[in-house]
Amino acid sequence: MKVYRTACPLNCWDQCSFIVTVKDNTVISIEPDPAQKITGRFICAKGRKHISRLRRPDRLTVPLVKTASGFQPIPWPEALALAASKIKEALNRYGPLSLLHYYDSGHGGLLKNIESRFFSALGGCTVHKGSLCWSAGLAAQTYDFGAALSHALDDLYNSRLIIIWGRNPAATARHQLPFILKARQKGARLVVIDPLHTATAALADEHISPRPASDGALALGMAHLIIKEKLLDEAFIRERSSGFAAYRKMVEDYPPEKVAAITGLPVGQIIGLARLYATTGPAAILLGYGLQRHSNSGNTIRAIDALAALTGNIGVPGGGVSYANFQVAPYIDSSLLEGEDLKPQRRYYPKPCLAAALQHQLKDPPVQVAYISRANPLTQVGDSAALKQAFAAIPFKIVSELFMTDTAAADLVLPCTAFLEEEDLYYNSMSHCYLNYGPKIIDPPGQCRHEYEIMQALARELGATGFPQLPAEELLAKLILPLTREKGITLQQLKAGPLLLPGAKAVPWRHGPFATADGKFNFYAPAAENEGGTALPHYQAPRELSNSRLHQQGYRYWFVTPHPADSIHSAHRLPGEAKRPRVYLSPQLAEEHGLAQGDRARVSSPRGFLEAEVSLSPKIPPATVMVYEGWWEHSGAAVNNLTSGELTDLGNQAALYDCLCKIEKV
Ligand code: SF4
């Protein structure tokens, strides 16, 4: 038996540190590493599932090429030569912008990102801006504070009030929950704001359920009352903020009665929440990703940030508006990863609009070769029917994958290693500030290769001399050079176990200026205006949810697709792995449509449909249809057949929750 330390590579808030026990190249157990103080007591079922996933019989183990008679195995040298010849042909005929590089967060290893440098070494590529999951909130917090930083979880013990706004840690960030519950035991009041009655809402002292996408109006209405009743922190506003006068004037337009009409909340509840937040300090707000998946979400986050500034809940223990936590990332050499020194050409498109971009924008030159890794866009990007069509038109698609996902069924499939089969380094930008080294612990099955090795081989074939040919360990040491120089942490030290970033701030913005241009919290953000937005946060009705024409056509229900507890995006939806997909409805809505528990229902939007079994729940709001995200096409319940490829107001983020649907019995 041998015991190793590593970390969970999944795109999860928590990034647990693991102790892995191995015998004869077989993983015996994965347990929490007690040296990591946030996740050291337990890991979730998805973490334990790694063991069986790695040895599933349907794991891709040899390169495959698509032929007229289906996928055929192909030796690695031939697969690499084929990929290189297609890339070379595209480069010669159309130049580097005819190469599309699509990646996402399917694996959290640092080294995986070196693929970006590969394309820079070829002269550049077409690549996305923004994201499917969190960039509206990041843009908003960057305009307001200059960066997105979170309070340490144990700082919640200093809070007298905790507002969880659009986050469901009971399902998706399990390691946050013990901190929240302990803070509550210590006397903090817990309020959950969420249109859905989630598992976290069930634990709260108060659950406030506004209409979907009306949260921005709620925040502006709270600000209206806080200013009117002079419940402000005038010293903070005077000394640490800018643009307050314009903001004050703007929120005059959000009296509680108007906000009640928008949110569907009683006037008394809005007033009560505003007074509670302004008078029960320190008060912490924990923001979730669901909150920023609507067309108006960036400004929603900005309106909530402003509440904290109004009341002086910034830079104080127990306060803050915690969303993401970019404390470790500045100590990684991202320029080395991206290959900026190679002066690549780049053509950008907004990531959620991939289908529309391929059909209309990316024409000169047209995309000739797509390389996709750590991602399953045909399942996860909105308006997936349009995307499938657009993808089909790309002459050659290469996918590196563990399994034959909806996207992996491409022209050339390269089997890659999984996290225990490769060396890498892990850190988190969502919650805590721990770093973990992950050694290669077991041999991969068949002929799987690390993406870094695949890129090295392709770079040699293509004569791309700007791509490193160093061993992985040496490259990792180079990538963390800023960390070594400024914080004294070396790869050798990380090999001994998880390390907390020295000097990680438990209370961001406590001292010194904010990271904005004027060093202040920006109620009025010129940077937002310069980038095409509005300098003040504002409320705008959600584009599709308030579309009366669609309502008239029968699309009357909010189609919401939250993250489930049992899968990270589409990762744990392999055939036979997941339970059956379900459509969750309130009993009233089901009755209106003659549906009963267990019936099969068709849910459709103007873009597509899915079918699944009905599950009734009194916790689902009446005009809402909920299906968890991540289902593959074969399940019949691929949710992004229905969602759109539209953007939110800030950050090139997918507005996946701004979706109307209808429902009928099959
Ligand atoms: S999925 Fe999240 S909670 Fe589960 S083991 Fe991985 S990091 Fe931990």
Closest atom of ligand 1 to 174 CA is 3
Count of domains forming the chain = 4
Helix (H/G/I), strand (E/B), else coil: 368: coil
15 lines ligand 1 (CB under 6 A): yes
Distance between CA atoms of residues 197 and 207, nearest Å = 8
Is the domain of 7 the same as that of 147? no
Question: Measured in angstroms, how far is the CA atom of residue 175 from the centroid of ligand 1?
Answer: 9
Is the domain of 386 the same as that of 406? yes
Q: Which domain holds residue 320?
A: 136-326+508-530
Is the domain of 203 the same as that of 344? no
- Of the candidates 54, 76, 92, which is a domain's last residue? 54
User: How far separated are the first and last CA of the chain, in Å rounded?
Assistant: 54
Is the domain of 453 the same as that of 552? no
Residue 602: CATH number of its domain: 2.40.40.20
Distance between CA atoms of residues 322 and 300, nearest Å = 14
Q: Long-range contacts made by residues 460-469, C-beta under 8 angstroms, separation at least 24?
A: 461/80, 461/81, 461/83, 461/84, 462/84, 462/87, 462/88, 462/122, 464/118, 464/121, 464/122, 465/121, 466/117, 466/120, 466/121, 466/339, 466/341, 466/342, 467/117, 467/118, 467/121, 468/114, 468/117
Helix (H/G/I), strand (E/B), else coil: 345: strand
Asked if 459 and 123 touch (Cβ cutoff 8 Å), the reply is no
pLDDT of residue 577: 77
pLDDT of residue 88: 98
Helix (H/G/I), strand (E/B), else coil: 398: strand
Residue 303: CATH number of its domain: 3.40.228.10
**Quick check: is 165 in a domain?**
yes
pLDDT of residue 566: 87
402 lines ligand 1 (CB under 6 A): no
Place of tokens 């391929």: 358
44 lines ligand 1 (CB under 6 A): yes
pLDDT (tens digit, 9 = 90+) per residue, 48-58? 999 999 999 99
Question: Measured in angstroms, how far is the CA atom of residue 12 from the centroid of ligand 1?
Answer: 6
Buried b (16+ CB within 10 A) or exposed e, 415-434: bbbbbbbbbbbbbbbbbbbb
Q: What is the pTM of this model?
A: 0.96
pLDDT of residue 430: 95
**Quick check: is 59 in a domain?**
no
Distance between CA atoms of residues 387 and 381, nearest Å = 8
For a pocket test of ligand 1, which of 30, 38, 44 has the largest count of ligand atoms closer than 8 A to its C-beta? 44
**Quick check: is 541 in a domain?**
no
Is the domain of 229 the same as that of 288? yes
CA proximity to 406, closest of 381, 437, 431, 426: 381
Is the domain of 101 the same as that of 142? no
Is the domain of 631 the same as that of 659? yes
Place of tokens 């200026």: 513
Nearest CA to ligand 1 atom 7: 15
171 lines ligand 1 (CB under 6 A): no
538 lines ligand 1 (CB under 6 A): no
**Quick check: is 140 in a domain?**
yes
Return the DSSP state at 449.
B
8 lines ligand 1 (CB under 6 A): yes
Going by C-beta distance under 8 Å and a sequence separation of 6 or more, which residues neighbour residue 264? Answer: 210, 211, 214
Is the domain of 646 the same as that of 523? no
Is the domain of 278 the same as that of 167? yes
Burial class for 385, CB neighbours closer than 10 Å (0-12, 13-18, 19+): middle
> Across-strand partners of 67?
70
CA proximity to 302, closest of 142, 164, 520: 142
Is the domain of 186 the same as that of 288? yes
Asked if 125 and 96 touch (Cβ cutoff 8 Å), the reply is yes
267 is written with which tokens?
Answer: 């006037």
Is the domain of 465 the same as that of 438? yes
Is the domain of 29 the same as that of 80? no
pLDDT of residue 589: 97
Low-confidence ranges of the chain (pLDDT < 50): none
**Quick check: is 384 in a domain?**
yes
Nearest CA to ligand 1 atom 8: 16
Nearest CA to ligand 1 atom 5: 47
Distance between CA atoms of residues 561 and 640, nearest Å = 9
**Quick check: is 537 in a domain?**
no
Question: Measured in angstroms, how far is the CA atom of residue 18 from the centroid of ligand 1?
Answer: 10
Helix (H/G/I), strand (E/B), else coil: 438: strand
Distance between CA atoms of residues 32 and 47, nearest Å = 9
What is the pairing mode between strands 557-560 and 660-665? antiparallel
**Quick check: is 540 in a domain?**
no
H helices present in 537-606, as ranges: 548-552, 587-592
Closest atom of ligand 1 to 43 CA is 5
Residue 20: CATH number of its domain: 3.30.200.210
Closest atom of ligand 1 to 14 CA is 7
**Quick check: is 538 in a domain?**
no
Residue 482: CATH number of its domain: 3.40.50.740
Question: Measured in angstroms, how far is the CA atom of residue 7 from the centroid of ligand 1?
Answer: 9
Going by C-beta distance under 8 Å and a sequence separation of 6 or more, which residues neighbour residue 530? Answer: none
